[in-house]
Structure 1
Amino acid sequence: MASSRPILAFLIAVLACSAWSPRVEAIGPVGDAVRNVLGRFGRDKSDWFDLVLLENDGLKEGAVCLDGSPSGYWFRKGNQENKWLIFIEGGGWCYDERECLSRSRTFLGSSDAWPRDRPVDRPLFSADPKVNPTFYDWNIVNVGYCDGASFSGNVTDPVVVDGKKIYFRGARILDQVMRHVKEKQGLSGDVILSGCSAGGLTTILHADKVAAQLSDVTTSFRAMPFSGFFPITPNFQGDPWFRVRADNVYKMQRVEPSLNEACLADNADNAEQRCFEAEHAYRYIKTPIFLINSLYDAWTVQNIYNITSDTVPAKDVPKVVPFLNERSRLVFNLIRGAPNYNNVGNGDFLHSCMTHCGGCCTDEGWDKVSVKGETVRDAIGRWVEGGNGNNVRTDDACVYTNGPPYQCNPTCPPFPPI
């Protein structure tokens, strides 16, 4: 039994190195002012985002963060007038009202702490064509995340928790951001909607709705979610933890009206909440979509599967790798088995690295991790260049083993010695 423990140690080391959180800093007014003064002198505008808050029509329409502050986005103007990448930030969900109240005091629930400008800090946004040959000169809209439910809630009246008001208005935020970008920034032409984690799920849930909203100004509209496919499945201990949490968010934020109408119609037997789940919503997407996801997603392993050093007893360690391999096959089949998977213009980059949001947001995930010799960067490039009629897919990903090196893809990010 003792000889099997390195398996879990390996996985814990992987998870420790794979943890991802949004890189928006929560800085105070003094730090914000200093940053603005120092940052603006001699800077290259292509390497910075400027914050745009929806303080007029957005507030009028109730498109506010959890704490009632104005929602908004960061913007970097590119050299190609008719090329737009809209990227939605992630940051998980808040699962009940008290947790949402706590979140409302952070940058994931309030714009008060958002920096007024910030440097481009991800390879997907880079203005260097050597780093980012596809999007380096595109207009980039980086949507701030502050509603706690993947831009899906729409509760008319504020909810009072411990004497404080909180607002569930994610659907209004998404609507007003797109309206503002179209009317004030001049969005038109080719548009790709993207996002990571909760933002990747937002892309899956709402791609068709955004496509319809922008249809009068776009010549091409596609979706590109990163790490947004979260399976609804019992965890390692057999507890349906994530389904219970997802159902709570669905009810608390009154998500149903913002979801795909065709999906809702097909699940009208008191199972409408399925349409708030990636594995069901994905099946109804008409927008051409390129999905980038790990079959061993680090957030999923820790949270949905509940595999950590504290939750797996020594006697159960030998079961971990078979469990993960079975779940990786489940995710693979949910994606590849979707009825729209073979639609023209669809594709995926599915890999086995235990990471989360690495494909968009880390140098390793962007241009070092590869499947059959192709990186995320290059696969995305092929998909974008091919237009709406181009299908780009990876081969079947490899699976883990119970002995060293455990992880099967040698291009995955290295981990510290165990």
Structure 2
Amino acid sequence: MVMQEMEHQNVLPSSPQPPQQRTYLGSSAVVFITSFALLVPAASTHTTLSARGGNNQSQLVVEFTYIQGAAAKGAVCLDGTLPGYNFHPGFGTGANSWLVYLEGGGWCNDIKSCLERKGGPLGSSIHMEKPYNFTGILTNKAQENPDFFNWNKVVVRYCDGACFAGEGEHEKLGLQFRGQRIYTAAMEDLMSKGMRHADQALLSGCSAGSVAVILHCDAFNSLFPRPTRVKCLSDGGLFMDTVDVSGGHHMRSLVHGVVSLQGVQRILPRSCTSRHDPVFCFFPQNLINYVRTPLFVLNAAYDYIQIQAGIAPNISDTNGKWNNGCKLNIANCSASQIKILQKFRNRMVKAVQGFSAKTQSGLFINSCFAHCQADSQDTWLSEKPPLIDNLGISLAVGDWYFDRSRVKKIDCPYPCDRTCHNRISKTSPY
């Protein structure tokens, strides 16, 4: 099975290019955001800017830059092509602040799925759609992103299929599992271009990128001298090792394939792998307890990707009871299905209890049928954003990052929250 980004992909098609609320901005900073992914067939294409909503002409669209010298370090995409990023310089009080987004796009967990990905935009920079639309926490409009609007912004593109964490290759089939090297090459390049002078830093991301954030958070912290403020934001990546509707562990099987095929176990925390199986240590619900750097977890309690791909994937939903209603629109769920979803929410809430007790941790778990909420303008900051206790996501993250207040928010169970931006689908690929 291939896990691949669709819903949160902010890109415009382009021909491949040859390698070449309130404002609190008293100090410079770096934010790293990664995006995890939707789980969809490899043949699927990225959604267009119009699919994300809004007037394309008023949005910030940023061009692509190849990471020169990456190939010499073995830092290449699945097909061996050069990786790259989209960079927009900061200005004013944000000129020495950095906000970096590590793009997500799911996983490939076996040879077949990796070969399929190799020929597409999430496995090759040849096929990658180059310009990228910066919205939500990435936008440069003060009224839409008051805390981070004028920072340097970078989206590091995702083309390895293992959360920027793989290390290995399949020489015969021409597959390069070099996610860890891509991440390192990108960090080295950005540090040489001024990021080393940042006063503050935040590593964050959505979905697959969220997993990458948690995996790299402490190592990212080590890049900067002690005075630097370093924190991490995980958005939509609290993937749970849950039981599916057939009584199996479909998500666990997928994770096992990714970890074993792409050699991800090499970068998992030894404090975890010395006591547990590497698959256990890859799941974010477990990983967050091993992160020493301040971390903010933003997640929907009824994450529709986890429902569609983990709780009721087609392979487990053999009678199709979930496929024609509940998986597509939570309002269509039966009483028995809602009961299953409430158990899933309760497991998620229980999983973050120890993490939430940490003084420097941040938490915002709303009761929405959603997936990733910081990189989309309507959920990040809009006229009617999702709220918990009248607190929106943008202000919650800003308050936590700048130490304006402690943020530990868990919503009441569905359907209590009337501010949610619940997703409604026509079909599910899972």
- What TM-score bracket applies, with the shorter chain setting the length? 0.7 to 0.9
The answer to whether the 8 Å contact 1:295/1:328 transfers is: yes
- Kept in 1, the 8 Å contact 2:202–2:230? The answer is yes
Counterpart Cα distance in 2 of 1:21 and 1:47:
16
1:78 to 90, 98, 111: 90
Distance 1:414 1:239 in 2: 27
Among 379, 389, 393, the residue aligned to 1:372: 389
Tell me which residue corresponds to 2:29.
Answer: none
Unaligned 5+ segments in structure 1 are 1-18, 31-42, 401-406
CA distance in 1, matches of 2:424, 2:58: 37
In the other structure, the counterpart of 1:39 is none
Change (3 A) 1:274 1:346: same
Say which of 361, 364, 380 aligns to 2:376. 361
Q: How many residue pairs get matched?
A: 367
* Matches of 1:236 and 1:334, distance apart in 2: 20
After superposition, the C-alpha distances for 1:98-151 in whole angstroms (9 at most, x for unaligned) are 11111111111111233444442x121111111100110111121111110111
Provide the C-alpha distance between the structure 1 equivalents of 2:214 and 2:424, rounded to a whole number of angstroms. 34
- Higher mean C-alpha displacement, 323-332 vs 43-52: 43-52
Alpha-carbon distance in structure 1 between the residues aligned to 2:175 and 2:412:
45
Question: Aligned letter for 1:265?
Answer: S
Shift of 1:91: 1.3
Letter in 2 for 1:361: S
Identical aligned residues as a percent: 28
Q: 1:416 to 1:105 in 2, by over 3 A?
A: closer
CA contact (8 A) 1:159 1:166 kept: yes
CA–CA separation in structure 1 for the residues paired with 2:152 and 2:16: 28
Tell me which of 370, 391, 407 is aligned to 2:406.
391
Counterparts of 2:172 and 2:335, CA distance in 1: 47
What corresponds to 2:216 in structure 1? 206
| 1:253 counterpart = 2:265 | no
2:140 maps to amino acid: A
Do the aligned residues in 2 keep the contact of 1:290 with 1:347 (CA within 8 Å)?
A: yes
- Corresponding residue for residue 222 of structure 1: 231
1:177 aligns with 2:165: no
Q: Compared with structure 1, are the counterparts of its residues 93 and 26 closer, same or farther at alpha carbon in structure 2 (3 Å cutoff)?
A: farther
Displacement after TM superposition at 1:342 (Å): 2.5
Does structure 1 conserve the Cα–Cα contact (< 8 Å) formed by 2:259 and 2:278?
A: no
Q: Secondary structure at the match of 1:160?
A: helix
Instruction: Name the residue aligned to 1:95.
Output: 109
Once the two structures are superposed, the pairs formed by residues 271-350 of structure 1 within 5 Å of their partners are: 271-306=277-312, 312-313=320-321, 317-338=334-355, 341-350=356-365
CA RMSD of aligned residues (A): 2.8
Contact 1:360/1:366, CA 8 A, preserved across alignment: no
Post-superposition offset of 1:48? 3.7
Counterpart of 2:420?
Answer: 412
Give, as a single letter, the amino acid of the residue that structure 1 aligns with 2:357: N
CA distance in 2, matches of 1:126, 1:217: 29
Q: Give the Cα–Cα distance (whole angstroms) in 2 for the partners of residues 325 and 353 of structure 1.
A: 12
Change (3 A) 1:409 1:181: same
Residues 166-201 of structure 1 deviation map (CA, whole Å, 9 limit, x = unaligned)? 110111111111111001344422111111110011
Q: Which amino acid aligns with 1:295?
A: A
Does the Cα contact within 8 Å between 1:27 and 1:113 map onto a contact in 2? no
Q: Match of 2:9, as an amino acid?
A: P
| 1:197 maps to 2:207 | yes
Structure index of larger Rg = 1
1:138 has 2:151 as partner: yes
User: What's the CA shift for 1:215?
Assistant: 2.1
C-alpha separation between the residues in 2 aligned to 1:399 and 1:158? 46
Structure 2 residue identity aligned to 1:88: L
Q: How far apart are the structure 2 equivalents of 1:253 and 1:77?
A: 34
Partner of 2:122: 108
Of Structure 1 and Structure 2, the greater helix share is in 1
User: Unaligned regions of 5+ residues in structure 2, if any?
Assistant: 1-5, 18-55, 323-332
> d(CA) in 1 for partners of 2:424 and 2:162?
34
The alpha-carbon distance between structure 1 residues 366 and 238, as it changes in their structure 2 partners (threshold 3 A), is: farther
The 8 Å contact of residues 295 and 362 in structure 2, kept in 1 or not, is answered as yes
Match of 2:408, SS? Answer: coil
Tell me the alpha carbon deviations over residues 74-98 of structure 1, each in whole angstroms, 9 at most, x when there is no partner.
1111122332222111111112111
Native 8 Å contact 1:294 1:355 kept in 2:
yes
- The AA in structure 1 aligned to 2:181 is R
Indicate how the Cα distance of structure 1 residues 307 and 118 shifts in structure 2: closer, same or farther if over 3 A, else same: closer
Contact 1:85–1:140 (Cα < 8 Å) also in 2: yes
Alpha carbons of structure 1 residues 21 and 379: separation in structure 2 relative to 1, 3 Å: closer
TM-score (norm 1): 0.81
Counterpart of 1:358 in 2: which secondary structure?
coil
With over 3 angstroms needed to count, the CA separation of the structure-2 counterparts of 1:260 and 1:45, relative to structure 1, is: farther
